[in-house]
Structure 1
Amino acid sequence: MGYRGEHIIKISLGTPPVDIYGILDTGSDLVWTQCVPCVGCYPQINPLFDPKKSSTYLNVSCHSQQCQLLDGGSCNPQNICHYGYGYEDRSVTEGVLATERVTLTSTSGVAFSTDIAIGCGHNDTGVFNDHEMGMIGLGGGPLSFASQIGSAFGSRRFSHCLVPFGTDPNITSKVSFGDGSEVKGPGVVSTPLPSMEFKTPYYVTLEGISVGNKYVPFSSSGKVSKGNIFLDSGTPPTMLPQNFYNRLAAEVKKQIPMSPIVGDPDLGTQLCYKSKTRVRGPILTVHFEGADVQLTPIQTFIPPKDGVFCFAMAGMEDDVGIYGNFAQSNFLIGFDMETRMVSFKPADCTKHV
């Protein structure tokens, strides 16, 4: 878990393998890391990945299928696939597309290798910190880590269990890929992934959120369009359309017998409370199509600093919401591209699940 509420995943890249720590991001597809030579890179603690030192590194031609599949792929003068890839927080990576060997070690200690398409970033800017060496995109598009690895592991599905914000950094979140990563058993609820034109984000349909017993509909008119929110492990707070957020926050405020203080601008949240112990907020029940997910104050109030707890949701101008990683913590969440379903199972992600 990064200090800004990001989750970092370790993969090994190249031959001989080098450890890469990238942000786990279900909201994007590209897998990339900063590479030598780095013209415009942000500073990082670990050495940059050096393609010349790997015997399995191969630049991808701009006429290849992989380059055509990449949003923002183009030809450079050497006919190598050049890419430019941007994120909602205005971070950008530019570089060349390549294939490289990735090695993952299973929980039982077995190492597994396969070749995947990756971005070698030569010009990267944005809100990255020096522990983050790039991004591991787990979106639904063909070039995402989940799609590329899933095919090698038998099926395009994966699951993750994210530890809550503020957990001891030595306790890690879990991610599993392919066959055996299905989320099943008692307590599981599932919601469909509607077919959307844009394949990357995992869009689901949110009908409303109950604060205690008080139901707050997503839309005042009661009509919701399919795929009105997407799950994004790379965005910490849950971002909701402003009108819905205002109605929801007003109800949360009403049910907490304390006076709020000024919000926390870094988190973009307006509803914060001064308290020595976690705010005893109401249970929030998120009503996805066909799946009710109950959130406790661990997922809905986070401590940006000692003695302050802030509501882990915020408003935004967009019509489509983002279900962030604070709300996803302490759930085993399965993304199944074969059956087009997302499943939720309450779990203590700090323990072995």
Structure 2
Amino acid sequence: MVGIVMFHPRFLVAFILSNYLVCLLATAARNGGFTFELIRQDSLNTSFYNANKYYPNVPQSQISAYKGHHLMKVLIGTPPVHIYGIADTGSDLVWTQCVPCDGCYNQTNPMFDPQKSSTYSDISCQSEQCHLIDTGTCSPQNLCSYTYGYGSGSITQGVMAKEKVTITSTSGKTVSFDLSFGCGHNNTGTFNDQEMGIIGLGGGSDSLVSQLGSTFGSKRFSQCLLPFGTDPNIASKVSFGNGSEVVGSGVVSTPLVTKEDKTPYFVTLEGISVGQTYVPFNFSGKVSKGNMFLDSGTPPTLLPENFYDRLVAEVQKQIPMNPIQVQDDADLGTQLCYRTEINLHDNAPILTVHFEGADVLLTPRHTFIPPKDGVYCFGMQSFGNIDIGIYGNFAQANYLIGFDRETMRVSFKSTDCSKQ
């Protein structure tokens, strides 16, 4: 099967963390929206989004965390079976491993078997959905075949299909909808045994957000991700449709930048302050619009090499300890790490991320991640000699973040996501 290969950077970093698992629970909403809880295995409870004061029944889904990724739990098929896919704002395709799957990576949970579902149907080559995804080609059986690749070389291949997806609400109600998705029969790359596929939440036409826009009132969603190292029994959450807006005191917003590539959520980063010292994105002080994008599927924040070098030098200057250098697992160079018996979170500076029109504060818990006892590593890395960066999920933790494709803005609100 040959298709258009789509690449994105979700798998560029193999940042190994311990037991971070995310699942999704959904609450049916009268107003057409819904919210997913994100359940973690190493995870962090306040009233949910302020918008829910006006939309009290916004559907929710749980997300759990596992090894730096957030896994969204949905029910698929009839009878329904559980699927745990990486919640990924950096890609569009929704896919899961399917039987038969001779060329697949190992997974702990049973693979989805289309022949056991009464609501499964293949998508033909001539269908609108096949042309919509921009990855579809025609198989000898007239099925819509796809090939979808990621920046690390990870690839999923299979057929596009339509299936019933069901989300169980926290009140016991359910909401169901039809979803076009990839039934992956040949999947390789840097996946672990808990990851059954990917839930693409990007801006493209075949993402979960785009497909659900008409069903749940609008193409907007919000997420509140738990930070690494919190109680694994507490869930993160993601909310879709009307009622998922991020509003109220303390909200800051930055414009979404439209580019030819519709998948990433591009924003403009002007610089980052380390304590009171401002480090500009580049020496000239002028930046290109849309020089960063927000990616829940990438753990660390990845920055252009020159900017990263200046930033990390200032961070080192403000930490009264001798660092150690650790080679990262993704061959992106060395990481700034400290080996210490004291809590580095009490001795590291606060960083302020200066997006266009929005200042977002990052505490040391966002910026220094303890991958093992006694070692803390800076949660940002060099992305090489390029002029664009990725704002990863470490930095997004404990912020209610609203992606509003109606107003074309991203909003941030500092939030204890364990109380959402």
Could you say which TM-score interval applies, normalised by the shorter chain? over 0.9
Measure how far apart 1:264 and its partner are. 4.8
1:229–1:322: 8 Å Cα contact kept in structure 2? Answer: yes
330, 340, 352: which one pairs with 1:275?
A: 340
What secondary structure, in the 3-state scheme, does the structure 2 residue paired with 1:243 have? helix
Distance in 2 (CA, whole Å) between partners of 1:137 and 1:60 is 19
When residues 264 and 160 of structure 1 are mapped into structure 2, their CA distance, relative to the original with a 3 A threshold, is farther
Measure how far apart 1:169 and its partner are. 2.1
Measure how far apart 1:171 and its partner are. 1.6
Distance in 2 (CA, whole Å) between partners of 1:47 and 1:143 is 25
Q: Which stretch shows the higher mean deviation, 62-71 or 239-248?
A: 62-71
What secondary structure, in the 3-state scheme, does the structure 2 residue paired with 1:194 have? coil
Measure how far apart 1:239 and its partner are. 0.2
In the other structure, the counterpart of 2:364 is: 297
In the other structure, the counterpart of 1:111 is: 174
Distance in 2 (CA, whole Å) between partners of 1:348 and 1:44 is 32
The answer to whether residue 261 in structure 2 is matched with residue 198 in structure 1 is: yes
Residue type matched to 2:335 in 1?
A: Q
In the other structure, the counterpart of 1:133 is: 196
Distance in 2 (CA, whole Å) between partners of 1:288 and 1:222 is 13
In the other structure, the counterpart of 2:285 is: 222
Q: CA RMSD in A?
A: 1.2
386, 389, 406: which one pairs with 1:321?
A: 389
In the other structure, the counterpart of 2:56 is: none
Measure how far apart 1:52 and its partner are. 0.6
Measure how far apart 1:111 and its partner are. 0.7
Residue type matched to 2:368 in 1?
A: F
Residue type matched to 1:90 in 2?
A: G
In the other structure, the counterpart of 1:335 is: 403
In the other structure, the counterpart of 1:101 is: 164
Give deviations 1:204-235, integer Å, cap 9, x for gaps.
00010011111111111111111100000000
1:57–1:98: 8 Å Cα contact kept in structure 2? Answer: yes
TM-score, with length taken from structure 1: 0.97
Distance in 2 (CA, whole Å) between partners of 1:7 and 1:275 is 28
Residue type matched to 1:14 in 2?
A: G
In the other structure, the counterpart of 2:353 is: 286
282, 307, 315: which one pairs with 2:374?
A: 307
Structure 2 gap ranges (5+): 1-19, 22-65
Give deviations 1:247-279, integer Å, cap 9, x for gaps.
000010001111001225137552101123233
Distance in 2 (CA, whole Å) between partners of 1:105 and 1:178 is 16
Residue type matched to 1:105 in 2?
A: T
Give deviations 1:152-180, integer Å, cap 9, x for gaps.
11111111111101223222111111111
Distance in 1 (CA, whole Å) between partners of 2:135 and 2:292 is 24
In the other structure, the counterpart of 1:23 is: 86
1:252–1:282: 8 Å Cα contact kept in structure 2? Answer: yes
Distance in 1 (CA, whole Å) between partners of 2:87 and 2:338 is 30
413, 416, 420: which one pairs with 1:345?
A: 413
Distance in 2 (CA, whole Å) between partners of 1:288 and 1:106 is 35
Give deviations 1:91-137, integer Å, cap 9, x for gaps.
11000000111111233332100001000000000111111100000
Distance in 2 (CA, whole Å) between partners of 1:219 and 1:62 is 47
1:260–1:272: 8 Å Cα contact kept in structure 2? Answer: yes
Counting matched residue pairs gives: 352
Distance in 2 (CA, whole Å) between partners of 1:48 and 1:41 is 10
Residue type matched to 2:389 in 1?
A: G
What secondary structure, in the 3-state scheme, does the structure 2 residue paired with 1:167 have? coil
Distance in 2 (CA, whole Å) between partners of 1:266 and 1:76 is 37
Distance in 1 (CA, whole Å) between partners of 2:244 and 2:132 is 26
What secondary structure, in the 3-state scheme, does the structure 2 residue paired with 1:163 have? coil
Residue type matched to 1:235 in 2?
A: T
TM-score, with length taken from structure 2: 0.82
Distance in 2 (CA, whole Å) between partners of 1:311 and 1:232 is 18
Distance in 1 (CA, whole Å) between partners of 2:359 and 2:372 is 31
